[in-house]
Amino acid sequence: MAKKSNIKSHKKSDPIDIEINKSFKNKNIIFTVSLLDGGKCFVEINSAKFSNLLDAIIDVSNKYDINVSSADIYLHQDDDDGYVAGKIIFFK
């Protein structure tokens, strides 16, 4: 997993967060996006239904011209209501 010192954090006012928030305003996806060294994208999922998580991956890939060849999921935990909460996704 990436060390925090390698993460280029984006404040909520930055364009990448504004666009993501617009895209998922009505999809109940709460997450933070940061860019890593080497053109990688770091996404921390705070709350999302699993079906909407795939939409998030596709949208991030399309908006920022990121070729997602894999998505590693760390700290995976399914809640009884079908939500994935507090997960870390690492796009390669």
Chain segment 4-62, per-residue pLDDT in tens:
333 344 444 455 555 555 655 555 666 666 666 776 666 666 666 767 777 767 776 77
- Amino acid at residue number 91: F
Q: Could you tell me what percentage of the chain is helix, strand and coil, using 3-state DSSP and rounding each to the nearest 5?
A: 30, 35, 35
Q: For position 17, what pLDDT does the model report?
A: 56
Distance CA(47)–CA(29), nearest Å, equals 6
pLDDT at 70 > cutoff 60: yes
Task: Characterize 31-48 residue by residue with b for buried, 16 or more Cβ atoms within 10 angstroms of its Cβ, and e for exposed.
Answer: bebbbeeeeebbbebeeb
Q: For position 54, what pLDDT does the model report?
A: 74
Distance CA(75)–CA(68), nearest Å, equals 20
pLDDT at 80 > cutoff 60: no
Statement: the pTM of the whole predicted model exceeds 0.85: no
Q: For position 7, what pLDDT does the model report?
A: 36
